[in-house]
Structure 1
């Protein structure tokens, strides 16, 4: 895989063997959570590769604690430490630097996985991702809140989340009925978070890699892969547990969404949710395109053209109050839908 070499200060640990799997983790001021994160990743990895920790503008003991853990555990991996990244570059840059730093260690056909420093991957996370990659090229895992931390949050978060969850589930049901995807069967979801991604080196090279965005680099990467015709799997099996803190390391993200549900009278909901009419139209058009296209690249190109040329699909962010109005409309529309025939994978 051709990647720009990382010239950041680097420390390497463990064996010098080649890696079949690389687990990459960006971190900033995560001294309290970094050791549990690394331990979970190592447990799931089972010696099949290495961990790359890309520390970005950190002012606490993240690096020191990570170094002590690597030395004590004997785990294979490396630590990058960039103290002065260019303005406007954050987690996306850290992820990109992590991949570049370990490119020379990867065997042909290696798999790259990403998670976050405030998350703990499941014990079977690596196994689940590898299993899903037998029928897909990029796996978006499920990100679950830490139950103990979530229980301590104000009750209003849970109450408001119920409505969004119902609308999300109905959106998925619409897509499954109008645009069933052979490589992304139920149970599935809509999330595409850097806290749990897994992809082949071919996908990474073909898309140009993860962009240096301060936020949103994960969804942008997944969208680019879909547009290039790669098979995207939204897996409920590959999952991570993540913190429920209200002050995150970047603007927005899970912390920002949780905070908004407490402090705002009418917060925005997930950007992937759309009005009922738009939800139906998008799924219907995507399904029609998928059934007539001969391969993934043709589908990706047609999908991009559909987005650009269909004014009715222009996205506008919904608020919680919008869901109160749209949920019964979407439910009624869904009840009238007839399922379409699913196109078999080639």
Structure 2
């Protein structure tokens, strides 16, 4: 099932739906027996619903297309996507007759590639409970972005790749191996029906609902794969529909040069410390030896944390991160991104040298 929330997207929703219909899996009939598209048009003042309904009819795919006026408290990106995904989950559950299925979601201003569903199915078949795809900006629209914003995005992406590789080297996770990416975006997110139900559905937040869902899955130790081979194209506009969303963030960074970035792009030393502690605690938690180790004191944690360490590792680590001042996140200033990326690359080279010497010594 595919869930697409839309609000005042008459100019883009048609291309979104046509891209969905071009899936090679659809054309080769290798989909789950029950497949359909749910488009939830909410609180729109334009003709998004009419455009979407016509495009869906042209595809000849099973679909539900609704035009709703959500109450103010729910009329946001998270509320609309959650309702669309819940409808997709119910449809899948009612018609699937107990067969395993999954829900994908994308944005009305995005265009998925023809292998989107096939690659997603492959990643889920390898044991992931959810799969997040990469997002690239529309080339024509990106070309018109302010030069300073494009430079900043370039530096952020380079540093993000360094941090992700460091994380994979220091604390490797089998279900999400390098190369991967750091995006959890509603433009390309898939979750099995079982995982979606286990997480309690999409978290009820106004924005950032995609990241919140991934966090909820991780807290339950449900494997999430960030698949670099899945690449979805999305709008590079600065005037978005969702307050606090991607377009809103880009506009703010364009208007305010020193606006903070993603807190995952933290100083290199902080990141390395985080990955090292996560590796230690993951190992001790899996081995049942947390009670034999000294870790609460160096992380400046209250003693009660040790008494509550019987939960799964995902929930445990999330609580430790939130409680430890040593692990508090702070975004790196944009002017330091390039320098920390270069330092991180040297650090990785050093790890390669250590590994090489160790391998030669063991022969």
Regarding TM over 0.5, the answer is yes
The answer to whether the 8 Å contact 1:24/1:112 transfers is yes
Match among 325, 332, 351 for residue 318 of structure 1: 332
Question: TM-score, structure 1 length as denominator?
Answer: 0.85
Distance 1:160 1:102, change over 3 A: closer
Instruction: Quote the residue 1:17 is aligned against.
Output: none
Instruction: Quote the residue 2:102 is aligned against.
Output: 111
Where do residues 153-164 of structure 1 align in structure 2 (5 Å cutoff)?
153-164=145-156
Q: Which moved more, 1:30-39 or 1:282-291?
A: 282-291
Match among 234, 237, 242 for residue 229 of structure 2: 237
Distance 2:348 2:266 in 1: 14
In the TM superposition, residue 325 of structure 1 has moved relative to its aligned partner by 5.8
Distance 2:138 2:17 in 1: 17
In the TM superposition, residue 308 of structure 1 has moved relative to its aligned partner by 3.3
Match among 73, 82, 90 for residue 87 of structure 1: 73
Distance 1:194 1:29 in 2: 17
In the TM superposition, residue 332 of structure 1 has moved relative to its aligned partner by 4.9
In the TM superposition, residue 145 of structure 1 has moved relative to its aligned partner by 0.6
In the TM superposition, residue 321 of structure 1 has moved relative to its aligned partner by 2.9
Q: 5+ residue gaps in structure 2?
A: 288-310, 359-363
1:248 and 2:240 are equivalent in the alignment: yes
| The structure with more helix, counted as a fraction of residues | 2
Where do residues 34-53 of structure 1 align in structure 2 (5 Å cutoff)?
34-44=13-23, 46=26, 48=31, 49-53=35-39
The answer to whether the 8 Å contact 1:25/1:54 transfers is yes
Which protein has the larger Cα radius of gyration, Structure 1 or Structure 2? 2
Match among 130, 154, 160 for residue 168 of structure 1: 160
Match among 316, 319, 323 for residue 305 of structure 1: 319
The answer to whether the 8 Å contact 1:53/1:98 transfers is yes
What is the DSSP-based 3-state SS (H/G/I as helix, E as strand, rest coil) of the residue aligned with 1:133?
A: helix
Match among 4, 10, 16 for residue 31 of structure 1: 10
Question: TM-score, structure 2 length as denominator?
Answer: 0.81
The answer to whether the 8 Å contact 2:74/2:80 transfers is no
Distance 1:168 1:195 in 2: 19
Where do residues 125-136 of structure 1 align in structure 2 (5 Å cutoff)?
125-135=116-126, 136=128
Distance 2:347 2:222 in 1: 31
In the TM superposition, residue 42 of structure 1 has moved relative to its aligned partner by 1.9
User: What do residues 136-189 of structure 1 show as CA deviations (whole Å, max 9, x unaligned)?
Assistant: 111111011111221222222222222212211111121011011111112201
In the TM superposition, residue 288 of structure 1 has moved relative to its aligned partner by 2.2
Q: How many residues align?
A: 318
Distance 1:84 1:96, change over 3 A: closer
In the TM superposition, residue 24 of structure 1 has moved relative to its aligned partner by 0.4
In the TM superposition, residue 88 of structure 1 has moved relative to its aligned partner by 5.6
The answer to whether the 8 Å contact 2:2/2:88 transfers is no
The answer to whether the 8 Å contact 2:133/2:229 transfers is yes
Distance 2:342 2:53 in 1: 53
User: What do residues 316-338 of structure 1 show as CA deviations (whole Å, max 9, x unaligned)?
Assistant: 33331343564455445445445
What is the DSSP-based 3-state SS (H/G/I as helix, E as strand, rest coil) of the residue aligned with 1:24?
A: strand
Instruction: Quote the residue 2:207 is aligned against.
Output: 215
1:121 and 2:112 are equivalent in the alignment: yes
Instruction: Quote the residue 1:227 is aligned against.
Output: 219
In the TM superposition, residue 118 of structure 1 has moved relative to its aligned partner by 0.2
| The structure with more strand, counted as a fraction of residues | 1
Instruction: Quote the residue 2:290 is aligned against.
Output: none
